[in-house]
Amino acid sequence: MKNFIQPGNIVDLTAPAGGLASGQAHLFGSLFGIATTSAAEGQRLAVSLEGVFDLPKAAGDSLGEGEAVYWDGAAISATSEGNTLVGHAVAAAPAAATTVYVRVKN
């Protein structure tokens, strides 16, 4: 197909203020993704929009396997209000855990 550009699971986006480190999660408008490389503010970088990632979890939140998870701007949260749905937990994470495995899918 002559107008096909790419599969779309990894896309090039612009690093936000402060830049991004490889593996860092970020909400680009309404697209949630994980930086595949590090980039300074304003630089283009490849961002993975789907897959399973070990991401920081909000302190005190307990997440069950298969539970919908939300991005609070810094970590994965169980709280939907004021946050953005970004995927589902693929493993349970107790309140004491600092990370959770998340299946990201935009």
pLDDT digits (tens, 9 = 90+) for 73-86: 999 999 999 999 99
Domain shared by 56 and 44, yes or no = no
The answer to the question of residue 64 being in a domain is: yes
Q: Which residues neighbour 2 within 8 Å (Cβ) at sequence distance 6 or greater?
A: none
Domain shared by 39 and 64, yes or no = no
9 to each of 32, 83, 93, 98, 101, how far by Cα in Å?
11, 23, 26, 26, 18
The answer to the question of residue 4 being in a domain is: no
- Give me 37's structure tokens: 């490389």
The answer to the question of residue 2 being in a domain is: no
Domain that holds residue 97: 52-105
The answer to the question of residue 3 being in a domain is: no
Residue 103's DSSP bridge partners are 52, 88
Q: What is the mean pLDDT of residues 7-36?
A: 97
| pLDDT reported for residue 106 | 80
Domain shared by 72 and 43, yes or no = no
Domain shared by 63 and 94, yes or no = yes
Domain shared by 30 and 41, yes or no = yes
The answer to the question of residue 34 being in a domain is: yes
| pLDDT reported for residue 71 | 98
The answer to the question of residue 1 being in a domain is: no
Question: Per the structure, how many domains does the chain have?
Answer: 2
Q: What is the pTM of this model?
A: 0.92
